[in-house]
Structures are given as structure tokens and as C-alpha cells.
């Protein structure tokens, strides 16, 4: 095993393909390297940052043979912060990389083929797209009160004055709070992109001139007003979240007489939009905060019914009508096997699965494609300059039994 010195420089490394975490694979004297900030087939000098499992974690120190897809990162903290992995790559190439990630994960799924896979839907905003950030605050004496993000590998706080992927409203708040939060370990900022509303949690007494401690903020989503409470989940890229909901609606080819289920319904973004186009829609959500927001957001809509429950705890006998389609939009852990059991018993003609984690999407599609056929797969870039890709899969029932 290689003896690692802090900041060891290794020269003339040829980079191989991407890993799931956005690094490039490489080897040196029998060691496996994860190199961040590189592009496959580049030749680079690298700096060793740490060891993780059986890999050396490295960053590009010098590019000897650059890729034609290499661009200058916009962020001064890039690769130190570790929040972004792809700022050094041309944005059009990022979209192709994410499409390739989908192909690699789903290639052996029954019925999947590249002709069913769309090109990655680009984000309207490439920078300043995030409406939500959770910042850490330094507790060490020398840097007490400094604001930033914790490096994934060193676990040290990287002090920042601006994050290039955060909305400008969030960045405008940071200098006003710097050095005033020594009594806190973290704080969260969420802002309305289409409104002037925002929240900062927790309540910060030292935040001179800045209102903090709000319980919720308001956002306009596809023309509908949404209340979003502090504990509730909402997508971090508002324009792309609106786009996502419109894509789901278009995939369903609605006739107006359908009865539907929006599983993992959150604050009601899908259900509220679709309510105009269906006969009835049920929303299922486990978070009390989110279900309260969803009920508030749909208070003037008569054909929505929200159910506070884990999706796997629902009985198919609850639904008295025939269910025409189901939307699945789970967290990264995917859909519980028990939930897939009762959903299949309802025999919906269509399922639209919205995934933020390709590994669990693959697992669940392995199950669903026993009775459903993949009609279309659409990658969506919800998180520019990161390794993450959102993926929408449209399925139609083939087994009529």
C-alpha cells in the first residue's frame, strides 16, 4: 500500500471513465485513484487528499493534456467545497454524461433501449439555481463564526463568501451573517424564486437587521401559490421543478376522466397541477409538515384528497374507484417492496416514476417491468455542475391479468 504524505503530488496520470460520484478512475502503483476535477483521457498531475475505503481521493493539480470539453470553473472554492463535481466540464457535455449514467444503470432492465431514452433536459439556469442551502458554522476558536460547507473527505469547513449555484438572494444574506453565528452549528436559508418570500432557520438573535425564524415561505409553482414550511421537502431548482411537473403531465396523455394516485406527494406540486386534468387525485405523504402544506396549497381544489401515511402502509382496499395511473416520486431510498405490491394489485394502466437515485430506480424497475413496459425515459438536469441526475420513466401495463 502506498505511503501517503499530506498533499502528495503524483505526476502524469491518465484518467479513465467516470465513477458514480463524479470522479474519474485511475491507477498508480497498484492503487485505485478517484480523481475529482478531471475528464476521461486527460493526462494530469494530481494531489492526494485522503484515503477512503480502498481508494485514494485526489484532485487535479495540473492539466498536461486537456480535454476539448474542459472549461474554467466559475467558483473560487471549486474542488475544496466538494459540493460540485462538474464545473470544469462544458455544460452540453455534462448533459451527455448524465444521459450516459442513465444508460449504464438501466441497460440491463427489461424493455429499456436507447431509442426510448430522451436527451437530458437542460436547466434554465446553469448557475444561481438553488433555492435552498444548509450552511455549517465553524466552532473552532480561530475561525469561530465562519460560514461555509464541510469538505466531504477532510470533514473540514470551507469558509465561503458566495456559492455560485445558490440563488443571488441567498448569497446576499451571507455577508450579513458572517461572524455573528458562533452559537450555532448550522443554519438553513430557503427563498422563493418567483416571489419575495424567504425563511431562515433557526431563529438567530444575533442577525442584526435580518428577519429570521420564519416557519414557512411562499413560492409560485406553475401558476399556483405554494406554502412550503421549514421541515417540508421541495425541489431546490424551482424552474426545473415546474418543468418536471409539466413533463409528467404530458407523459400521461390525460383525457379528464382519470382517477390517480400521487405517491410521495410532498407539498402537492404534482397533484395541484394535475387536478385540472383528472377526475380525482389522491396524494400520499408521510411527512406531517408536507401534508399540512399540501392541504393548504389545495384548499380551493375539490378533487384532491391527501392521505397522511407511509406509502407502504396503505391498503389497496382504501381506494373504491379504479385507479388509472400512479405517480411515484420517492426519496433516494426508492419505493418499498410492500408499496410496489399494493400498487400492482390496483392494476393502474400507467405509472410514471420520478427518481433522484439511479441505483434504486434500477432496483424498482426490475420489479415493475414484470407487468409494465417502459415507454419513455427522460433524464432531467435538476442539479447543474453536480453528478446528480433526475430521471422520469413512463410505464404502461402489459400484463392485463
pLDDT digits (tens, 9 = 90+) for 201-210: 999 887 878 8
State the pLDDT at residue 297: 97
pLDDT digits (tens, 9 = 90+) for 289-301: 999 999 999 999 9
Burial of 45 (0-12, 13-18, 19+ CB in 10 A): middle
Considering only residues 259 and 208, tell me which one the structure prediction assigns the higher pLDDT: 259
* Res. 79: pLDDT tops 50: yes
Q: Confirm if 244 and 378 have CB atoms less than 8 A apart.
A: no
* Res. 266: pLDDT tops 80: yes
Mean pLDDT of the chain: 95
Q: Confirm if 199 and 173 have CB atoms less than 8 A apart.
A: no
CA gap 278, 257 in Å, rounded: 6
Q: Which set of grid coordinates corresponds to residue 317?
A: 382496499
Domains along the sequence of the chain with CATH: 8-70 (2.40.50.140), 92-125+234-397 (3.40.50.150), 132-228 (2.40.50.1070)
Which DSSP symbol is given to 381?
A: -
Single pTM value for the model? 0.95
Considering only residues 365 and 175, tell me which one the structure prediction assigns the higher pLDDT: 365
CA gap 372, 344 in Å, rounded: 10
Order the strands of the 9-14 sheet from edge to edge: 9-14, 43-52, 55-65, 31-36, 24-28
Phi, psi of 139 (to 5 degrees): -110, -5
Q: How many residues does the chain have?
A: 401
356 is catalytic: yes
* Res. 227: pLDDT tops 50: yes
* Res. 181: pLDDT tops 70: yes
- Which of 58, 75, 81, 356 is labelled catalytic? 356
pLDDT digits (tens, 9 = 90+) for 1-15: 556 666 899 999 999
* Res. 376: pLDDT tops 60: yes
* Res. 401: pLDDT tops 70: no
Amino acid at each position: 500500500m502506498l505511503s501517503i504524505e499530506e498533499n502528495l503530488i503524483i505526476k502524469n496520470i491518465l484518467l479513465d471513465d467516470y465513477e458514480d460520484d463524479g470522479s474519474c478512475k485511475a491507477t498508480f502503483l497498484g492503487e485505485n485513484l478517484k480523481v475529482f476535477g478531471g475528464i476521461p483521457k486527460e493526462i494530469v498531475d494530481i494531489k492526494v487528499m485522503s484515503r477512503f475505503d480502498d481508494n485514494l481521493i485526489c484532485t487535479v493539480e495540473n492539466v498536461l493534456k486537456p480535454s476539448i470539453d474542459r472549461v474554467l470553473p466559475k467558483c473560487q472554492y471549486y474542488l475544496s467545497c466538494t459540493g460540485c463535481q462538474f464545473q470544469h466540464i462544458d455544460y452540453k457535455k455534462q448533459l451527455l454524461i448524465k444521459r450516459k449514467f442513465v444508460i449504464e444503470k438501466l441497460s440491463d432492465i427489461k424493455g429499456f433501449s436507447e431509442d426510448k431514452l430522451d436527451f437530458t433536459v437542460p436547466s434554465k439556469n446553469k448557475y444561481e439555481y438553488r433555492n435552498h442551502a444548509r450552511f455549517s458554522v465553524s466552532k473552532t476558536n480561530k475561525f469561530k463564526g465562519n460560514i461555509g460547507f464541510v469538505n466531504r473527505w477532510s470533514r473540514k469547513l470551507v469558509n465561503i463568501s458566495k456559492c455560485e449555484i445558490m440563488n443571488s438572494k441567498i448569497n446576499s444574506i451571507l455577508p450579513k451573517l458572517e461572524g455573528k453565528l458562533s452559537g450555532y452549528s448550522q443554519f438553513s436559508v430557503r427563498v422563493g424564486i418567483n416571489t419575495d418570500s424567504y425563511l431562515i432557520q433557526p431563529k438567530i438573535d444575533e442577525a442584526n437587521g435580518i428577519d429570521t425564524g420564519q416557519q414557512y415561505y411562499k413560492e409560485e409553482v406553475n401558476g399556483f401559490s405554494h406554502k412550503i414550511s421549514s421541515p417540508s421537502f421541495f425541489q431546490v431548482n424551482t424552474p426545473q421543478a415546474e418543468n418536471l411537473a409539466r413533463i409528467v403531465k404530458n407523459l400521461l396523455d390525460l383525457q379528464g376522466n382519470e382517477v390517480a394516485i400521487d405517491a410521495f406527494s410532498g407539498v402537492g406540486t404534482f397533484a395541484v397541477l394535475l387536478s385540472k386534468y383528472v377526475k380525482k387525485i389522491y396524494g400520499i405523504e408521510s411527512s406531517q409538515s408536507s401534508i399540512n402544506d399540501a392541504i393548504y396549497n389545495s384548499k380551493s381544489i375539490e378533487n384532491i384528497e391527501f392521505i397522511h401515511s407511509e406509502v407502504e402502509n396503505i391498503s389497496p382496499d382504501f381506494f373504491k374507484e379504479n385507479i388509472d395511473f400512479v405517480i411515484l416520486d420517492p426519496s433516494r431510498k426508492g419505493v418499498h417492496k410492500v408499496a410496489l405490491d399494493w400498487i400492482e394489485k390496483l392494476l393502474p394502466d400507467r405509472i410514471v416514476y420520478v427518481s433522484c437515485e439511479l441505483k434504486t430506480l434500477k432496483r424498482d424497475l426490475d420489479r415493475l417491468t414484470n407487468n409494465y413496459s417502459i415507454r419513455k425515459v427522460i433524464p432531467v438536469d435538476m442539479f447543474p455542475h453536480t453528478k446528480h441526475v433526475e430521471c422520469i420513466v413512463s410505464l404502461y401495463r402489459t400484463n392485463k391479468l
